[in-house]
Copies of this chain bind each other. A is one copy, B any other.
Amino acid sequence: MPAECPTNVIVRNIIEIGDIRIGGGELVVMAGPCAVETEEMLYRTAEAVRKEGAHILRGGAYKPRSSPKAFQGLGAPGLSMLRDAAKASGLAVITEVLDTRDVELVAEHADILQIGSRNMQNTALLKEVGKSQRPVMLKRGMSSTLEEWLLAAEYILDAGNPNVILCERGIRTFETATRNTLDLSAVSLIKELSGLPVVVDPSHSTGKRSLVAPMSRAAVAAGADGLIIEVHPEPDKAACDGPQSLTPAEFGKLMSQVKRIREAILTNGEGSLDA
């Protein structure tokens, strides 16, 4: 069991972004395309996910792809598009930052800075986002233990930023039937150990559209504070991650399912979440 949890630092159990409260009892949903592609697509998606109940627009302007030949994102122009589309629909924005030199620019456009799996132990980047006051969502590294994940969070907390959200997105195992193995026991255990809010990413962890709804339900039943879901108006035409993206209609169905699960775990005999 992780021995070293962030104990000498200030930890916020509830992260506030405008009137959105992550970790405060309400289920917060982030949704949007894998990558920012075109303005038209982005506005359409933002409008659609807001209508179905999402709170935050996700979308990558800087993409950390395995191959240098793969689409690397639109960069700075993508950031502006993302902010504008979110604003038009009344959503907050989360987007990934890859380089210490981009933190300031990304923080100007986004409400939450995302650190991706591949950079979970990029200590220079962790220190840099620790200097920002923007909330940071730290995705678990593909082969990161819970202890290492909490220590990575401590880099951010230790640098002065108390607003850390963790995101379970699947770990690398021998199983190849799914893209990664979603570790839902981590959700409960990390909350028990650290008190930090935990969001689950059923899209990247499974890599399969048909598994996004059942894993979203399971995440909420396990006590997750939020979900981050890939939604694309035309998944077959997506620049990346099409096979795991939901259509807005599928996303709408998922939202109604997870709301029922959330109610089921809240309306128990004792009125608290886990009893």
Task: Name A's B-contacting residues (CB within 8 A).
Answer: 1-2, 4, 64-69, 72, 98-102, 118-119, 121-125, 127, 141-143, 145-148, 151-152, 154-155, 158-159, 171-178, 181-189, 192, 205-206, 208, 210-211, 213-215, 217-223, 253, 256-257, 260-261, 263-265, 267-269, 274-275
Contact = CB atoms under 8 A, between A and B. Distances in A.
Please tell me how many copies of the chain the complex holds.
4
Given A118-B123, A177-B189, A260-B265, 16 more contacts: A66-B147, A67-B151, A68-B159, A98-B123, A122-B122, A145-B177, A173-B183, A176-B176, A181-B181, A181-B183, A188-B214, A189-B208, A214-B222, A220-B221, A221-B261, A256-B268
Nearest to A181: B183
B64 A121 contact: yes
Contacts of A253: 275
Given A121-B66, A265-B260, A268-B260, A175 B215 contact: no
Contacts of A213: 274
Nearest to A128: B99
Contact of A123 (B65, B192, B268): B65
A182 B186 CA distance: 10
A185 B185 contact: no
A215 to B, nearest CB: 6
A146 B211 CA distance: 15
19 contacts: A68-B154, A100-B101, A101-B124, A118-B123, A145-B176, A146-B175, A147-B177, A174-B174, A175-B183, A181-B181, A182-B184, A185-B211, A187-B214, A189-B208, A214-B222, A215-B222, A253-B275, A260-B265, A260-B268
Contact of A188 (B122, B184, B211, B220): B211
